Amino acid sequence: MCNNNATVIMNEPVCLIDTGRDGRMSVQQRALQILEQIQQPVVVVAVVGLYRTGKSYLMNRLAGRQSGFALGSTIESKTKGIWMWCLPHPFKDGHTLVLLDTEGLGDVEKGDEKHDMWIFCLALLLSSTLVYNSMGTIDNIALEKLQFVTELTEYIRVKSSDHSRNTELMRVFPSFVWTVRDFTLELELNGKPITADEYLENSLKLKPGYSAEVSQHNLVRRSLKEFFAVRRCFVMDRPASAAKMKCMEQLTDADLEPSFVQQAQQFCSYIHQQAQVKTMRGGRGLTGRMLGSLAETYVEAIRSGKVPCLESAVEALAKIHNTRAVAEALDFYRAEMTQKVQFPTETQEALSSVHSAVAQQAASTFMKASFNDQDEKHLLQLKEGIEKAYGELCKRNVKESRKVCWSVIRRVFASLEHGLSNGSYMRPGGYNDFRSALDHGAQVYRSEKGKGIMSEEVLTEYLEEKNIVGKGICAADQTLSEAQKKMEDYRVRLEEAEQQRRLLEKRIAMQQQAMRDLEQSKQESIRQLERKLEQERQRAQEELQQVLSAKLKEQQELLEDGYEQRAQKLSEEITQLRSERKKSAPFEAVGRRLISWLGKMAFAKETENLSFSVEEEGEYQSVHKTEDQMEMEMEKVEGARAGDVENVDVPDVSYDEVHRHHFGQRRCKSCADIAESSHWVLMEPLVSMETGVPVYKHCSPSGRFECAVSGLRWVCASNVTVQYHFSDPDAFRAELAMLQYTPIGPLLDIKVLEGELLEAHLPHFACLEGSESSLKEAVRVLHGVDSAVTLETCELTRFHAKLLKPSFSLTEVLVKIGIPVRSHLDVLIYRMRVTPLTLHIYVVPRDASMIQAVEQDTRNAKKIKKNRPDVSIWMNSKFRLTCTCPAEISPQDITLKYIRPPDFFEVFMENAEERFDLELTCEEQSIWKATMRSVDYGETADTSQHIQMTSAATRDFQGAAFRGQPYLPTSTAGRATGALTNTDLLFRFRLGLIERMSGGVLRDLLDGLQHQLVINRTEAGDILQRTSVQQEQVARLVDTVRNKGRRACGIMLCMLQQLDIHLYNDLCDELE
């Protein structure tokens, strides 16, 4: 990538724009390659004028060289097309001076006035200062040769604005400098000396009158006044004798007339000090590479027979350079970080400090290379790209650190592992030796340097694993009394709490560092943007002030010359310009809005409170944590410090896994390829009854949340209270029929009682497989008040319809009638009677309000939980239910509809078997199967509301639990699980259970474990009441059971097998 501060030094000029034999212009690649290297602002000075008038000599003097641009001493024109010379600016550091020497106008051999016009226009459009060079004096003949300026409006186009076309051109045209060579007159007027500038202005005075002759006399003069806000004049004596002038390139200043040398120095000094950076409308400065693109844009328009358009050129530059600026800034960031960071870093701060410095440089690189970044969307792309790249580096840092840490672990604990493998600790007194070896290894491990940020995390994992082993060694050590064993258990738990305190403090420090990184990134982006906006605002104000001063001067002259009507018309322009200046230019207000917006975008990301976490495989993630949760964790740490081991709830190594949303409840093979965000915190609502209707309420901090009941999601930047209930779906049935829409989700009455939502995601049951684009166009969100309805467009995602800054009334997701819709399904099974066995089986769209309505109709029946179908089906499809044992099933078929009450299959069995299978088919394709056991539908299971095992299962389980092996049904026997203890197996299942266990299975497990005396009522209540986030509840349950030993783990595994065999089998498969 090019260095932004690099200076390009050319030994000689090159051709920028050439004219071929066919008369067509083209931009030369060599010149473009040079401009491509210049990422500094450019001051562009172009010279135009009749051929053989010494234009090239002036350019050479500006370059500080004797030779460069070709000079000639004959009547033949030397310069063809437009030539370019790029040099370090002699007075402005960090800028490049670009000199453009143009082909002489009026070449008799060329004889093409239109070609001369295009040369003049290109010099005008590409330069920030235009030098017009002529010989003799400024008289009518000299002005007539500037006839080109009267035709500029025909050759250069601007889009409509509040100002006149000429005023708009004045705002973007360069300053105008007239150099008069071989000047022989005295600078006097009415006997008084005047300056060269006064000489020019006097020559441009208008004649009073309206005759054709007067109008022709005034035409060029008026054009120069209307198009050029800044006009300067320099007169120069003849530099030398005619004989000497034939070899001008060999002459030094000593060989020239002193008066000429002084005049030429004054001209060069003005150009070097006063010529401004080349800008476009609004003060947007150009770099060298942008100048090259601008030349290509204008020449291409001329070649295609069009007129160059200033706004189109701005759009073309923005399109080319902003995308490129983002890519180059990101490449710079990645290259610098790769070069400067050595993984793993000892602390997160070490990585963060390098990131902050490099990100700042990358932002500066982008600012210099970007152009007219509307709404700063490319700056935001860069910010997001840097954050993503930084996340990848953090992930790498984590993995490298874990790799080093485990290498150290294997080395320092090698002797301990050897003792464990040969059983040397399984002897009287072996426990003390084991603890000594473990403590010594931990001490040596901590003394090692260069392990990186995961040092405590990896050690915690290792110690936790060995503490479980240690419990077995302690139990087998006959030299220890029961009291000593209890004290040892207490000591180990205290050490674990202290280790968790270290780990938690490090995590919190990493999280706080991540938040500081985000804040610093936000502030740096705002500072960079403010600087650039302020620079462009100042340029725009200077541009506006120049135009206003020129218009005021022109108005005064018009009044003096008797053109009152023209002066009055000019007053309107002046009023508009003054009004624009009072507003500090619309650009400033836009800048403030963009800065504010950028700050909000950064804040929205900051509210996610990023922290760096690691799972067993060492994956780096972004995890949501609220300030309240962080404060609660610190209270736990203080409890551990105080030695309250019995009551402190120490976070587990992978504690932050619970903040990830589980998708076990939404698995659908049909639309599995459609991306869906997984960073949602699942929350159980507070439920109350109002007029017999359940009302669900959530109080959440900032973050991204999902209701465990309905699937409603919301995003907020501060604390909010959201309340909702399901409403009568027929409330707007007539209105929807008239609008030709039908629901594909529940009708929700949502109220935001406190705070504000940034986003709301309304649940729907439509599957996007094969119909994603058509559905997205046909879906709307209903807002209903009384009998009036309005429809709002939305963004359709896999399971939700997304609304930004939502306002609520009665709300539901709709689809246009006639659009075919596939539906995600629920199969709801209720046991109505035990003898004879009677089941009601509903097949309905996956809709929480539908489930609630069915449960109200079957509230006296027992609900039997089985897995959902994992494929979607077209609405209005017909289903058939079959059973593997004799049964009466009616009706024969059911059609999938979104109606209340829904149809259902009734299954009647005189003599139900201990086990039978149910299967749903659609068009002879199986879409769902379930195995029913007596434990599912039997009276015992129903009346006790606890898990009961068959006698055979109980015997098998008890033996397995005693041996420390899990009870394995036939479907899982012989798998990799057989080599693991119950405690190990539950630990390996932990993440999958957190992600995928349903609320129903969780509640049944809590009931069953109490019944089996694994946990007591206080522990069960604590699991549910400590948090409303379901994943955290599952994590607490697993950790509680694991701490109670292998028998407790075996009981939980056995219950899980019976409650959700598919989940159990999936977890076993993942182990293999």
> 839-843, 911-915, 977-981: which range is least confident on average?
977-981
Query: In the numeric block, which tokens belong to residue 430?
Result: 């072996």
- Give the number of other CB atoms < 10 A from CB of residue 392: 13
pLDDT tens-digit series, residues 473-528: 888 888 888 888 778 777 777 777 777 777 667 666 666 666 666 666 667 667 76
Buried b (16+ CB within 10 A) or exposed e, 491-500: ebbebbbbbb
- Give the number of other CB atoms < 10 A from CB of residue 593: 12
Q: Residue 883 — very low, low, confident or very high, per pLDDT cuts 50/70/90?
A: very high
Q: Residue 159 — very low, low, confident or very high, per pLDDT cuts 50/70/90?
A: low
Q: Residue 976 — very low, low, confident or very high, per pLDDT cuts 50/70/90?
A: very low
- Residues contacting residue 185 through CB under 8 Å, at least 6 positions apart: 137
> 151-155, 400-404, 1000-1004: which range is least confident on average?
151-155
Q: How far apart are CA 439 and CA 422, in angstroms?
A: 20
> 412-426, 497-511, 926-940: which range is least confident on average?
497-511
Q: Residue 639 — very low, low, confident or very high, per pLDDT cuts 50/70/90?
A: very low
- Residues contacting residue 441 through CB under 8 Å, at least 6 positions apart: 412, 413, 416
Q: Residue 75 — very low, low, confident or very high, per pLDDT cuts 50/70/90?
A: very low
Across the range 1001-1028, mean pLDDT stands at 83
Q: How far apart are CA 924 and CA 879, in angstroms?
A: 9
pLDDT at residue number 667: 66
Q: How far apart are CA 463 and CA 493, in angstroms?
A: 11
- Give the number of other CB atoms < 10 A from CB of residue 629: 18
Has residue 401 got a pLDDT over 90?
yes
- 897 Ramachandran zone, left/alpha/beta (phi>0; psi -120 to 50): beta
Has residue 950 got a pLDDT over 50?
no
Q: What ranges make up the beta strands (E) of 765-851? A: 766-767, 779-785, 788-792, 795-796, 800-804, 810-816, 822-823, 825-833, 837-845
pLDDT at residue number 110: 58
Over the Cα atoms of the chain, what is R_g?
41
pLDDT tens-digit series, residues 209-249: 888 888 888 889 988 988 888 899 999 999 888 777 777 77
Q: How far apart are CA 292 and CA 1014, in angstroms?
A: 77
Q: Residue 99 — very low, low, confident or very high, per pLDDT cuts 50/70/90?
A: very high
More confident position, 963 or 816: 816
Q: Are 920 and 926 spatial neighbours (Cβ–Cβ below 8 Å)?
A: yes
Q: Residue 657 — very low, low, confident or very high, per pLDDT cuts 50/70/90?
A: very low
Q: What ranges make up the beta strands (E) of 236-307? A: 279-280, 284-285
Q: Residue 443 — very low, low, confident or very high, per pLDDT cuts 50/70/90?
A: very high
Q: How far apart are CA 1060 and CA 1038, in angstroms?
A: 16
φ, ψ of residue 129 to 5 degrees: the values are: -135, 125
> 344-348, 759-763, 804-808, 980-984: which range is least confident on average?
980-984
Nearest to 321 by CA among 366, 271, 285, 371: 371
Has residue 959 got a pLDDT over 60?
no
Nearest to 671 by CA among 531, 774, 770, 791: 770
CA 487 to chain centre: 53
